[in-house]
């Protein structure tokens, strides 16, 4: 019974995600376009931080694509390239964190918050349902 509940929750999450993407597609079909400035920010967030060693060392924030959050580093102050070098943590998260829009309000959703769920689903579906990557101690022969 517990496995049925878990599968139901997974199915519900998938349905909500599909409904949200369909709603976004409908808005684009009506002529509403994405803000190109927002797209520029998203692309900027995926660049590597500028670690060039120069005379000026200024604390900056960059978006770490491995952990999906903003981290602080020392910007060298040269090369003129300030991509993925934000002045504050809030500015970095505002520009780089993912958002899911809702009809009632805009909800900020960081992918790092979904990782435990994805990890759980991977373990549950991979290990428990299909029995992959795990030996059953009862059926093992020596």
Split at pLDDT 50, 70, 90, the class of 57 is: confident
Q: Which two tokens stand for residue 38?
A: 């927002």
pLDDT, mean of residues 71-97: 81
Instruction: Judge whether 63 and 40 are in contact, CB under 8 Å.
Output: no
CA gap 88, 61 in Å, rounded: 6
Tally of CB atoms within 10 A around 50: 20
What percent of the chain is predicted at pLDDT more than 90? Answer: 4
Output the pTM of the full model.
0.41
Domains of the chain: 35-129 (4.10.410.10)
Positive or negative: CA dihedral 76, 78, 83, 87: positive
Q: What is the DSSP letter of 73?
A: E
Bridge partners of residue 108, in order along the sequence: 99
Helix ranges restricted to H, 30-88: 36-45
What percent of the chain is predicted at pLDDT more than 70? Answer: 42
| pLDDT value at residue 71 | 92
CA gap 9, 13 in Å, rounded: 6
For residues 140 and 97, the model is more confident at 97
pLDDT, mean of residues 79-104: 72
CA gap 83, 47 in Å, rounded: 7
């Amino acid at each position: 019974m517990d496995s049925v509940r878990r599968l139901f929750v997974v199915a519900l999450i998938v349905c909500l995600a599909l409904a949200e993407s369909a709603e976004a597609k409908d808005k684009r079909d009506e002529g509403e376009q994405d803000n190109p400035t927002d797209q520029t920010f998203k692309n900027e967030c995926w660049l590597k931080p500028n670690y060039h060693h120069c005379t000026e060392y200024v604390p900056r924030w960059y978006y770490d694509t491995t952990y999906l959050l903003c981290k602080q580093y020392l910007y060298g102050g040269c090369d003129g390239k300030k991509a993925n070098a934000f002045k504050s943590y809030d500015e970095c998260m505002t520009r780089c964190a993912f958002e899911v829009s809702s009809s009632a309000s805009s909800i900020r959703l960081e992918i790092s918050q979904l990782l435990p769920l994805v990890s759980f689903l991977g373990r549950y579906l991979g290990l428990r349902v299909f029995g992959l990557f795990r030996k059953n101690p009862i059926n093992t022969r020596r």
